[in-house]
Every structure is written in structure tokens, then in C-alpha cells.
Amino acid sequence: MGGHQGLGLDTEAKRLRLLGIGHVKLRMHRALRGTPKAITVSREGQRWWVSIRCAEVPAQPLPATGQSVGIDLGVCALVATSDGELVREGRFAKKAQDRLVGAQRAVSTKERGSMHRRRACEAVGRAHRKVANQRKDLAHQVSRRLVNDHDLIVCEALRVPQMSRRPKPRPNGKGGFDRNGARAKAGLNRSIADAGWGMLRSMLVYKAEDAGRELIAVDPRHTSTRCASCGHTESENRVSQAVFRCRGCGHRDHADVNAARNILRAGRAQRASARAGLGN
């Protein structure tokens, strides 16, 4: 089976022909769908990985469920849904911080160019790969469950790179700088990276498309400060990271769940507006 210059794949013999290298043994994780067009070979530690991109991949639509959900992405709970579910797993880098720091410290004590230093560097790589694999596995599980159970999924149109920018310096006019919250922002950036919002969002996009589900991204402004019960919007409504208490009607809820319900309502309104525009 082929389709790309330099690529020859024999799925029965489990062998891959690479241009300039020849045939190599291959362990297939899943059957190919569509026409192979490009290949990427990468190395992680002592392992090699091959990714094959295919075109004209047939969709596999899932049966309708009649269910819709809004999701709010956070750092304390990875996902909060409009149904009240909280996905608290994750934060793998924080949980593995001691192990990561210890592995990195071991590298600094080894002589450069020595076999001991090389092994210590490999240990650091293994520790980081374990964290990355845990984060990826959780994203796969959460995105698959959301796509399987809902016809409509609404999320925020978050700009993760912009959210992770370092704060600008604040010159004080005396040759120094005033505090700009850089230390607190660095901690938030680590939490955002550890949550893996971008990875989860990309998985939702391609899985929803393959399953024939509808994925809508809405403006995130005011979703965390607007009451999902009465619509009153005020920054003081969000008492803490987890507590929402409306100063207008007294409605109480988990702050992320309240935001997820606002997100779902905004997504439904956006879809209705788009359909009305098509009907005119």
C-alpha cells in the first residue's frame, strides 16, 4: 500500500519502506483510513514513531443522542460541563514536580560528556514523556466521551497563546521596575500548559467532525461573571475560583459549572442566529 513518494506500507507484513533507509518493522496502532499522503518520523528517547497523514478519510457518523453540552476549561477542574460534571483529573506536571526536579538535579551533578550524564538526561526525558502521555491520554478520554454523548458541544474560543504571554515590564522612571505580577502569571501559565487546553480542543475538533457532531466556539467574555439563572453580570458574582454567588438573585453554583451553562446558552443562540441567516 502506497500513495506517497518514498513511502511504501505493507500492512500485512507490518513493514514500512522509507526512502534512503529501506524496509523497517512496524507496529500498527490502528488501521489506516483514506489515502496516505505524507509521513512524519520522530524520535522520543529510545523509541521511534511514525505518523501517516491521510486524505479522503471517510467519516464515521455516530447515532444522534439529542443531547447538548457546554464546557468550561479550567485549571482546577480540567472540564466543567453544563450538566454539572467536573473532570478533576489532570495537573500531571504539578503532581510529578518533585520527580521532575529530582531528575533535573541529577543531571546537574554529572560530568558533561559522561555516560552517567547521558543516562541522567534520558531519565529526565522519560519523566517528561510520562507527564505528556498522561495528559494526552486524559484528553483522548474526555474528548471521546463528550463526542459520543452529545450532538452539540459548545466551548469557549480561547486564545491560549495570548493568555500565556508574559506581562509587560513596568518601568518606575528611576532605573528600575515596579511589580507587574510576573511571578503569579508564570504560575498561571504553568497551570494552563499543564491543563492542555489546546490539545483537548484540537481533539474535540477532529473527533466531532469525524462523528458528525456540531462543535461551536463562542466569545468567552462575561461567561464567568454572568449568572446562568437571571443573567445579572458583575465581577463580584465570582466569589472565588470555585464559588459563584449572584449578587442580583442570590443564585449559587460552582463557578465553572455556571460558566459552562452560559457557554451552552451562547452556543445555542449563535446556532439559531446562523440558521435564521441561512433561511433569509
Q: Is the same domain home to 232 and 273?
A: yes
Bridge-based pairing state of the strands 68-73 and 79-81: antiparallel
The identity of residue 223, as a single letter, is T
Q: Which residue has the cell 453554583?
A: 253
Question: Is 85 contained in some domain?
Answer: yes
Q: Is the same domain home to 174 and 265?
A: yes
Between the alpha carbon of residue 14 and those of residues 3, 53, 229, the distances in Å are: 17, 17, 57
* Domains: count for the chain: 2
Q: What percent of the chain has pLDDT over 90?
A: 42
Give the whole-angstrom CA distance, residue 26 versus residue 40.
14
Q: Is the same domain home to 212 and 253?
A: yes
Q: Is 156 a catalytic residue?
A: yes
Q: Is 72 a catalytic residue?
A: yes
Q: Is the same domain home to 270 and 147?
A: yes
Bridge-based pairing state of the strands 243-245 and 252-254: antiparallel
Q: Is the same domain home to 18 and 78?
A: no
Output 179 or 217, whichever has higher pLDDT.
217
Q: Is 111 a catalytic residue?
A: no
Specify the DSSP element, H or E, that contains 36. Answer: strand 35-44
185 pLDDT band (50/70/90 cuts)?
low
Q: What percent of the chain has pLDDT over 70?
A: 87
Question: Is 151 contained in some domain?
Answer: yes
pTM of the model: 0.78
pLDDT (tens digit per residue) in 114-166: 999 999 998 998 899 999 899 999 999 999 999 999 999 999 987 765 555 66
Question: Is 196 contained in some domain?
Answer: yes
Among residues 151, 156, 194, 253, which one is catalytic?
A: 156
Among residues 72, 151, 194, 253, which one is catalytic?
A: 72
Q: Is the same domain home to 44 and 77?
A: no
Q: Is the same domain home to 84 and 156?
A: yes
Boundaries of domain holding 180: 68-89+138-279
Q: Which residues pair with 139 in a beta bridge?
A: none
Q: Is the same domain home to 21 and 80?
A: no
Query: 3-class SS at 134?
Result: helix
Among residues 151, 194, 253, 256, which one is catalytic?
A: 256
Question: Is 181 contained in some domain?
Answer: yes
Q: Is the same domain home to 142 and 80?
A: yes
Question: Is 94 contained in some domain?
Answer: no
Q: Is the same domain home to 237 and 165?
A: yes
